[in-house]
A and B are shown apart, each in its own frame.
Chain A
Amino acid sequence: MAKLKKDRKINIIDTTLRNGEKTAGVVFSKHEKIRIAKMLDGIGVPEIEVGTPALGEIEIDIIKAVLKSGLKAKLFAYCDADIKAIETAAEIGAKNVVINISTSDIHIKKIYKENRTWLINKLREAMRAANKLELDFIISAEDATRTDLEFLLKLISLSKKKGAKRFRICDTVSKFDPFRTFMNISTINNAIDFPLEVYNHNDFGMATANGMAAIRGGAESIVVSIGGLGDGTGNAALEEIVMALRYLENVELGIETAKFREIAEYVAKASSRAVPIWKAIVGTNVFAHESGIHADGVIKNPKNYEVFNPAEVGLTRQLVVGKHSGSHTILHKFKEYDIDLTDKEANDILALTRSMSVDLKRPLFDKELMYIYKDYKSSAKKGD
């Protein structure tokens, strides 16, 4: 299967500060928002959604501060398709806005309690306002994956005609798998020559795969967040998309990935959500090997069980000694402490290690290994 063209330009826009913060229970302080924006900018993320001005004074104060912090990244304010919200964004100095509107019949009927004609007018008014205020804008179609395709195409051509920069397709309820996503985006892409952006939720664990499928289908831009932080199950994770592009598609975005772990940790603290140790790309367990087969393979050659070097994302490799360890791990582990075990010693210590690990229901610390070794040696002496 052909990979993407190497020179293909893919944009990412990070929404940690907007949809990430919208997660029920997550609140960033002003200081944290500025810090996160700087971190994203520092590693080379080209576009950032900063916040929602319509929330009022507190949020406006924070957005202003981020706008003024001298970042290279293009900064977006997020607005509903509402003239007042767009005016507020312009007043506080935003140059770029995302204008969001729900486009599925179910949302039009149940949330707006209106019809499609009303929606088109609302979108027109919003774009008129944005143009009048000389804002660059992206139109975001919420629940686009449950929107009638013909109607969606109509909205995209309208947005194109009125000067939008891109059109965002939101899979708000995680309706699609990668195949449907690919078909959907290719179909739209073939029908209208206009830059598409995708926004995926992770309700069935497919946000990243759907984002990648959309890119394969011709989307130019993808919405991400650090660690996938976002309302409900969250969004496509920044670190997963960047690394998947690099290693599965050979597309290099030029992001400084060595900072991924550090940034993930910062956002975890600010959002009061620990990074799961098994989190793809940045979890501390991703480069921890315990089972005999895996650890043995990694000791012989990391390539056996690793696609990239841990340092590339700011992690380190660990050999964990526990129930599933094999004698090679024991030999290797003791070599770290300048102790050369014989094969017999390694096997005996392995048996002791396994049984202790099962008793404790956890792997052993290096120190505990040393105790086992000392006990073993002294009992072996007695036996002599």
Chain B
Amino acid sequence: MRELDLLTDFSQKAGTTIDPKDIKIDDTTLRDGEQTAGVVFANDEKIHIAKMLDKVGVHQIESGIPAMGGDEKEAIKRIASLDLNCSVLAWNRPVKNDIQASVECGVDAVALSISSSDIHIEHKLMKSREWVLETMKAGVDFAKSHNLYVSVNAEDASRSDMEFLLQFARTARDAGADRLRYCDTLGILDPFETFLRVKNIIDIIGIDMEMHTHNDFGMAIANAIAGIKAGATYVNTTINGLGERAGNAAFEELVMALKFVEGVDLGINTNLFRSLSEYVARASNRVLPTWKPVVGGNLFVYEDENKVKGVLSDPSTYELFKETDVGLERQYVPGKYSGINSIKQKMKMLGQKVDDKQAKELSEIIRNKTVSSKRSLFDSEILDTYKEYMGSSKKTKTGKGKDKNG
């Protein structure tokens, strides 16, 4: 019965507005992003990314794992001393030595991460639930004795027994933790399940919550939003969704989804999204897919006749935001699916005027050429096609056009 009530509840909440002041982004590109198999950032790259994140208006940066020592610790120290507007957090196991290393780095916040699922407790930690609670509590105590902001991370929370998770959250709260990070470590939740569980913890324990979602089934963004709807106030994101396996909730997608689907404007400077994404793509040695939501190079590239007709008449026919909102460019690329409007627009941009009949014939020629070359044509090829076409149509008209191939 409770589930049914909640179903109605979230259906209603779907329409309500969340207060943007309450929602904070904690970006973990530098920690979970770098933890991705195969990704290593140089320290200078880390500094640059931290500065960019701060510049666009992120609230907190998860800067790395001080306990790894060496270069990693050095980078965190440098980031903490940059005098950024945002908070700088470091990741730890709830172990004295780890937290001590964080203190030495000068960060203002720590995440203390420990698994709360029985699968992890038995098969990874090889310990007991009691040990988990004690270890976590001791960690919070130690961190708090150093006046740090503390996020307790329930790793594998989504596979944890709810009763134990509540006990875990209560222990964290009572020890003085500032928030609880709900980790869907394996990305196995859907938005409905996420909503119910997060709401349950907030209702019963009343602790600030953060969403950490993974994209294994393509639901990282939807789950993060579901958590926010349930009352979570922090979201753990990464630029481009960089992260273990299928990655995390992408920073740029989350910010734009909140703004344009949920009507919640966090005041983030989105104009820099494309350059931020390109930078991280290069630093992580991963090409940015042209179809990547929000920042892909192909998002405002139009070939399809219906869409061209629509966006030329009014961009809002097919767009909820403008290309300049995220630092992209608009293009018209004639191809197999183009027609009169697309060709006329392209020719206009190339400085040529054609009428409807010419545009129709040209679109057929371009369709054939696109199919035989199995790609879009370059502007120069389109111009050549146009010149050839004009030449041959002149020839049929006057009967004495120049023979191009002659």
Contacts and interface: CB of A to CB of B under 8 A. Distances in A.
Interface string B66-78: 0010111000000
A232 B320 CA distance: 13
Given A354-B68, A360-B40, 6 more contacts: A110-B317, A111-B317, A182-B14, A286-B246, A290-B36, A324-B35
B21 to A, nearest CB: 21
Given A276-B289, A278-B247, A208 B367 contact: no
B261 A23 contact: no
Nearest 6 pairs of A and B residues by beta carbon = A209-B222, A179-B14, A208-B218, A290-B37, A204-B257, A24-B303
A285 B290 contact: no
A383 interface: no
A231 interface: yes
A178 to B, nearest CB: 4
Interface in B36-52: 36-38, 40-42
A297 B261 contact: no
Contacts of B375: 25, 27, 272
Given A2-B3, A27-B371, A179-B229, A248 B217 contact: yes
A283 B225 CA distance: 24
B50 to A, nearest CB: 18
B370 interface: yes
Interface stretch (B268-276, B291-299, B390-398): B291-299
B298 A232 contact: yes
Contacts of B246: 278-281, 283, 285-286
A67 B122 CA distance: 55
A254 interface: no
Contacts of A158: none
Contacts of A237: 218
A244 interface: yes
Interface string A153-187: 00000000000000000001111111110110000
B10 A179 contact: yes
A335 B127 CA distance: 26
A301 B121 CA distance: 12
B223 interface: yes
Interface of A: 1-2, 21-25, 27-29, 52, 55-56, 58-59, 80, 106-107, 110-111, 143, 172-180, 182-183, 202-210, 212-213, 216, 228-229, 231-234, 236-237, 240, 243-244, 247-249, 272-274, 276-281, 283, 285-291, 293-294, 296-297, 300-301, 303-307, 318, 320, 322-324, 354-355, 357-358, 360-363
Interface of B: 3, 10-11, 13-15, 34-38, 40-42, 68, 70-72, 119-120, 123-124, 126, 185-193, 195-196, 215-223, 225-226, 229, 241-247, 249-250, 253, 256-257, 260-262, 285-287, 289-294, 296, 298-299, 301-304, 306-307, 309-310, 313-314, 316-320, 333, 335-337, 364, 367-368, 370-371, 373-376
B311 to A, nearest CB: 9
A308 B341 CA distance: 48
Contacts of A173: 318-320
A361 B257 CA distance: 33
A177 B91 CA distance: 31
Contacts of B307: 231
Contacts of A229: 291
A359 B123 CA distance: 34
B244 A291 contact: yes
A204 B221 contact: yes
Nearest to A244: B217
16 contacts: A58-B371, A177-B261, A178-B192, A205-B220, A208-B219, A209-B190, A209-B219, A209-B222, A233-B291, A233-B293, A237-B218, A280-B217, A291-B244, A304-B119, A304-B123, A362-B40
Given A106-B314, A204-B293, A27 B192 contact: no
B221 A303 contact: no
A297 B115 CA distance: 11
A303 B123 contact: yes
Contacts of A272: 374-375
Nearest to A272: B375
A322 B72 CA distance: 13
Contact of B320 (A58, A175, A276): A175
Contact of B215 (A204, A207, A280): A280
Of the listed residues B189, B296, B303, B336, the one surrounded by the most CB atoms of chain A closer than 10 A to its CB is B336
B123 to A, nearest CB: 4
A1 B217 contact: no
A204 B253 contact: yes
B335 A24 contact: yes
Contacts of B250: 205
Given A24-B303, A56-B364, A205-B257, A322 B38 contact: yes
Contact of B40 (A28, A206, A322): A322
B4 to A, nearest CB: 10
A177 B225 contact: yes
A363 B38 CA distance: 5
A285 B316 contact: no
B332 to A, nearest CB: 9
A179 B226 contact: yes
A233 B299 contact: yes
Contacts of B187: 280, 307
B336 A21 contact: yes
B35 A290 contact: yes
Contacts of A247: 188, 217
A290 B188 CA distance: 21
A29 B335 contact: no
